[in-house]
Structure 1
Amino acid sequence: MSAAQTTRTADKPTEAPPEHRREWAHMALITIGPVVVALVIGGLVLIAMGVNPLTYYSYVAGRGLFSPSGLQATLTRMGPLLLIAASLIVAFRAGIWNLGGDGQFLLGAVLVAAAGPALVEIFPVWVVLIVGLLIGAVVGMLWSVVPALLRAYQGVNEIITTLMMTFLGVSLANVLVKLAFLDPTTTVPQTRTLPVEDRLPRLFDTTVSSGLLIGLAVIIVVHLVMTRTAFGLKLRVVGANSKAAIHAGLPVPLLTVLVFGISAALAGLAGAVDILGTQGNVRADWNPAYSLTVVPLVFLARFNGFGTIAFVFLFSVLSIGGESAARKLGVPNYFSLVIVAILLVVLGLTEYLDQRRQQKVRS
């Protein structure tokens, strides 16, 4: 072969093998496909309600994506959602179903909302913000101690215990707001309000909270730790086969408690970010139920942090835009949650059919 031919061969871009192209196409199909199907089914539900689905989705996109104020609200909404997603990724990759995120989130939010206005009278704002974030993380972590110990040392199913702790956490949060932390100057039961100037700073002269940067940084770090470090490998081994992990000499009970602690701390941190960045206080009976809402998004992304960012953005657009569409078209505010529920069902069916296909291929 001549030097010129060798140069041309070297300069020619390397094409992906057909197997890799098929694998990428397959992943795109089982990831994006359920989203498209869920939107179509949601459109059929809208038609049954007498609403034009194209009009609804155009309002959603127009408000949540193409409107400057709507886009800023969408990006702000992403902050706590990304932290909840990071919490779930840690737990799910380790084979643990921490479904107590809503209780951990809400209790962290309430304690931060109660402490913030008091601390800002004593300390500089930057100290208050750091302490507030730590309070949220610690409160969330402490609320996971009971399910963690029961799973680690007694083998009690954490799905049951974390859901029970969520119920208790939501109830306790409401009691704290209405009694211990009640702002007596308001007619509606709520905590004292943290002044806007004492909250997390805004980004680039917009209304976007810097909580977005916290969420992005945390979920990227979680992804890298779980996929590129020895600690993440140990957690994945525990999640894949706990008996094999024990035979390999891994301290499974200790790792289980650590997973619960990290996951719950991130959920509590999400509550702190929501209060310090956006809400400023907690009203009685307030519960956005972010944790269970984010579960299908994490599964759609296959526990991949970068993929989760994209799906959280999509949900934030749907959530913010859905609020505007609800006001203009008379659709219930919770219809975006209906689409998420449909998405979860479609995702389950997709996983089932994909496993059946793989079994046929292997056989």
Structure 2
Amino acid sequence: MSSESARMTTSPPHLPRPRLGPHLHRLATVVGPVLAALVLAGLVLLALGVDPLAYYGTVVQRGLLSPTGLQASLTRMAPLLLIAAGLIVAFRAGIWNLGGDGQFLLGAVVVAALGPALVGTIGVWPTLVACLVVGAAVGAVWSVLPALLKAGQGVNEIITTLMMTFLGVSFANVLVKLAFRDPGTTVPQTRTLDVADRLPRLFDTTVSSGLLIGLVAVIGVHLLMTRTAFGLKLRVVGANTRAAVHAGLSVPKLTVAVFAISAALSGLAGAVEILGVQGNVRADWNPAYSLTVVPLVFLARFNGFATIAFVFLFSVLSIGGESAARRLGVPNYFTLVVVAILLVLLGLAEYLDQRRRLAGK
């Protein structure tokens, strides 16, 4: 046997390094930035003179482990999930609908005025159904102008939807203070829908059944975008508009449809918030849920099930963070700081992952 043959028989073959599966790798690129963001946010807390372990412990205790806190976190999820569902449709179709806050608030104001007026006439359940439909319709109508400008003239929807949000928030305040104001109160607000006439609670808890509406919406949108021909058309438009036109798709009609669906879900979120939690709308009330949900949808990479997880995490941080802020003197908006750090780290992780994939080719 020659020396070369001996080396071939005795030397171990060169095996490629084991690689993580695609799903495990994707999980690692999400979990890693989350943990790093918590660490960096903890360093910020240390710089503020706050014990990060005490802060995170309070957040978990008040937002997750406490029965009342967990129920509040689940209830907070309802409007966030509906807005997230609308954003998934828009973003997967390549459309930036940033007008969700105006659509949400107008839907909420109209429903807050309509609910007390209808409940004594047609009953509770017909009123709830009618209000949900009206809230979605109001949101969709408020998106007509940006949709037509985008579909017909190619006007940038980021500008038009942000302008419509400003107008929508201002118009909602005018309605609360003038047309829909409850004359029996000194503080400008709409009439209050009685607790007995609102969406029912789940399983003898304080969790609004709006949570089920939000879960159904997100899962339905996920299946729509991944399992139907209509969803495939929207994804083709989002990936390459020229290819969509070449394939014979009516891009203007699909654009208007995307705006209508996305805005209707935002308006429905406003209706669910009023019918399930608030019962009325006060002057200058604007929780600004839409812009808060945008990074969560990006963190989930437009996946419906991952969106549910991130919305739950944010709800726990939000509810628990409110208690931690009162106890430890941390600003109420610190939860948004954590989300911002997380978004930056996720973008950095995505960039490094792309560099790694290009280097491996």
Name the TM-score, length of structure 1 as normaliser.
Answer: 0.93
Corresponding position of 1:287: 286
Amino acid at match of 1:141: A
3-state SS, counterpart of residue 168 of structure 1: helix
Amino acid at match of 1:169: G
* Superposed counterparts of 1:334-345, under 5 Å: 334-345=333-344
Amino acid at match of 1:176: L
Q: Does 1:349 align with 2:355?
A: no
Q: Structure 2 regions of 5+ residues with no counterpart? A: 1-16
Q: 1:30 to 1:80 in 2, by over 3 A?
A: same
Q: What is the CA-CA distance between 1:19 and the residue it aligns to?
A: 7.7
Q: 1:280 to 1:155 in 2, by over 3 A?
A: same
Corresponding position of 1:206: 205
Corresponding position of 1:327: 326
Corresponding position of 1:25: 24
- d(CA) in 2 for partners of 1:153 and 1:258? 13
Q: Which moved more, 1:215-224 or 1:25-34?
A: 25-34
Q: What is the CA-CA distance between 1:193 and the residue it aligns to?
A: 0.8
3-state SS, counterpart of residue 180 of structure 1: coil
Q: What is the CA-CA distance between 1:186 and the residue it aligns to?
A: 1.7
* Superposed counterparts of 1:1-363, under 5 Å: 21-362=20-361
3-state SS, counterpart of residue 325 of structure 1: helix
- d(CA) in 2 for partners of 1:107 and 1:356? 44
- d(CA) in 1 for partners of 2:342 and 2:142? 30
- d(CA) in 1 for partners of 2:294 and 2:203? 31
Q: 1:263 to 1:19 in 2, by over 3 A?
A: farther
Which whole-Å deviations, capped at 9, do the CAs of 1:154-196 have from their partners, x for residues lacking one? 1111111111111111111111111111112222221111100
The question of whether the paired residues in 2 share the 8 Å contact of 1:84 and 1:294 is answered with yes
- d(CA) in 1 for partners of 2:122 and 2:339? 42
| Structure index of larger Rg | 2
Amino acid at match of 2:238: G
- d(CA) in 2 for partners of 1:30 and 1:104? 33
Q: What is the identity percentage for the equivalent residue pairs of Structure 1 and Structure 2?
A: 77
3-state SS, counterpart of residue 333 of structure 1: coil
Amino acid at match of 1:163: L
Amino acid at match of 1:47: L
Q: Structure 1 regions of 5+ residues with no counterpart? A: 1-17
3-state SS, counterpart of residue 120 of structure 1: helix
Amino acid at match of 1:98: N
Q: What is the CA-CA distance between 1:24 and the residue it aligns to?
A: 2.3
Name the TM-score, length of structure 2 as normaliser.
Answer: 0.93
Which whole-Å deviations, capped at 9, do the CAs of 1:71-120 have from their partners, x for residues lacking one? 11111111111101100100011111111111111110011011111111
Which whole-Å deviations, capped at 9, do the CAs of 1:300-347 have from their partners, x for residues lacking one? 111111111111100000001011111111111111112122222222
Corresponding position of 2:13: none
- d(CA) in 2 for partners of 1:179 and 1:255? 37
Q: What is the CA-CA distance between 1:348 and the residue it aligns to?
A: 2.4
- d(CA) in 2 for partners of 1:275 and 1:357? 47
Q: What is the CA-CA distance between 1:20 and the residue it aligns to?
A: 7.8
Q: What is the CA-CA distance between 1:284 and the residue it aligns to?
A: 1.1
- d(CA) in 2 for partners of 1:152 and 1:231? 18
The question of whether the paired residues in 2 share the 8 Å contact of 1:296 and 1:343 is answered with no
Which whole-Å deviations, capped at 9, do the CAs of 1:274-304 have from their partners, x for residues lacking one? 0000011111111111111111111111111
- d(CA) in 2 for partners of 1:356 and 1:153? 38
- Where does structure 1 differ by over 4 angstroms across 4 or more consecutive aligned residues? none
Q: 1:98 to 1:20 in 2, by over 3 A?
A: farther
Which whole-Å deviations, capped at 9, do the CAs of 1:247-276 have from their partners, x for residues lacking one? 100111000100000000000000000000
- d(CA) in 1 for partners of 2:169 and 2:348? 31
| RMSD across aligned positions (CA) | 1.3
Q: 1:332 to 1:94 in 2, by over 3 A?
A: same
Q: How many residue pairs are counted as aligned between the two chains?
A: 345
Amino acid at match of 2:201: R
- d(CA) in 1 for partners of 2:76 and 2:180? 25
